[in-house]
Amino acid sequence: MTGPPDPLDLAGRVLEAAGGGETQVTVVHERSLTNRFAGSVPTQATALDTVTVHVLSVVDGQTGGASCTALDDATLRATAGRARRAAEAAARSGPGIYPGLPEPAAGGGHDGFDAATAELDPAAAGAALAAAAGAAGEHGLDADGVWTAGDVRTAITSSRGLAVADRVTDAAMRVLCRDASGRAGFAAGAGTGLGHVDGAALAHRAAAKVVTGQAAGLEPGEYPVVLEHEAVGALLDMLGDLAFNGLAHAEGRGALVGRLGARVAARGIELSDAPRFPGTLPRAFDAEGVPKAPRPLIEDGVARAVVHDTRSAAIAGDGAASTGHALEPGGSAWGPGTRNLVLAGGGAASVDELAAPIERGIYITRLWYLNVVHERSALLTGVSREGTFLVEDGRIARPLRDVRFTDSVLRILAATEALTSAQRLVSEAEFYGTRFASGTVAPALRADGFRITGGA
């Protein structure tokens, strides 16, 4: 076994094999390790080492794409041929709207690679699992969770002369501590390297959420809420697609249609897409090879911008240009996306301080199964999970049965009263398909009028 070739060399070779025409080649080499555990014993371990080659061909504003995993010359040539024929077939239906591949542009570096993490040592995973199980055991609890680390190399070449390469690592761990009755607490850590995931510390944090005593119920209604970092991150992740997707905005279905320049959140709310912010999972360029750069989205509560890839910018017109947010070569049919959201912190020292003014309200660790109820108003529904508490007389008082909420993310931001100064990277680390680590840097916050619509 010789091992895969250098991604940039391979991307150059495939571009040459494509034999001319407007072409972009993307090579992604993923190495990763994912270990799961339940009941404090390991359940699954998955080690991956795969290369994917994607070829995008452009003919008369129409695009065609093809991908493969085999790296022999014949397969690579055939893949380039499939992409070309697809674009030609599309062009026979008439000219398309794709304005052409982006010109090469200089981008900045980042510190998103950690050599120790890239070793993907199975022993590190085993040690983290053992540490989490041991710490949970100290509290008389079981631990469930996942530990994962990855090393992803990406290279893009194009007929416009683009030749860029990037390498990022990531690590994430989620720990749930559970008692015999099934009550659970949750904690997670994520970052560019193994230093961000401490199995024992996460287990202790999760165990602190497993509080004995009868869980209270809550009638539907509007309540003051303290949302921990994980919950805030999940809401912002959804908002990214609903409000800042330039294609949705151009099609008139985005949550900021007619609201750019208007106040959409409380004063002091600062939200940006910041690919090199400390603590985020950085990358050098988007899926079209356009350099990543910071983009303010909400400034002092006022909506400022949406994001674009080349395709959505062409549809939007009016001088719009790619902002480096393409999710797929040629731009995704569903539009661009924010993958490095950062919500600026506030002045609160802790979540306890956030809860202090609340007479009766809710504390939520984590939200689950968020989905859109009404796109234009950024109205979501979802449930709390693994760490929901009743706040009484300014104290996080006792466990609460999980709740269903139905509320608008923008309304929650408009009703935000305070944020913690400490931020945390919130990363789902789901990794469907090829690994693409991303996350939102978020503080915890307090908001008024959080709309509970049911129990869970």
- Give the shortest CB-34-to-other proteins separation in angstroms: 5
The single-letter code of the amino acid at 235 is L
* Per-residue tokens: 76: 């690579």
Burial (CB count within 10 angstroms: exposed 0-12, middle 13-18, buried 19+), residue 6: middle
Residue number, 90 or 266, with CB nearest to other proteins: 90
Shortest gap between Cβ of 176 and other proteins (angstroms)?
6
How far, in Å, CA of 9 to CA of 24, rounded? 14
User: Residue 116 CB, nearest distance to other proteins (Å)?
Assistant: 16
The minimum distance between CB 121 and other proteins, in angstroms, equals 8
For other proteins, the closer CB: 366 or 446 = 366
Q: Which is nearer to other proteins, 75 or 350 (CB)?
A: 75
> Is 103 or 138 the residue whose CB approaches other proteins more closely?
138
* Beta carbon nearer to other proteins, 87 or 442: 87
37 or 285: CB nearest other proteins: 37
The residue among 164 and 238 lying less far from other proteins, judged by its C-beta, is 238
Cβ 427 to other proteins, closest distance in Å? Answer: 13
Smallest separation (angstroms) from other proteins to the CB of 348: 29
Instruction: Report the C-alpha gap between 87 and 353 in whole angstroms.
Output: 58
Least distance between other proteins and beta carbon 337 (Å): 16
Between residues 176 and 342, which has the closer beta carbon with respect to other proteins?
176
Which of these, 284, 235, 317, lies nearest to 112 by C-alpha position? 284
Q: How far is the CB of 48 from other proteins (least distance, A)?
A: 5
Q: Which of 124, 290 has the CB closer to other proteins?
A: 124
C-beta closer to other proteins: residue 112 or 331? 331
Question: CB of 433: closest distance to other proteins in angstroms?
Answer: 8
Smallest gap from residue 368 Cβ to other proteins (A): 5
Distance in angstroms (rounded) separating the CA atoms of residues 180 and 53 = 48
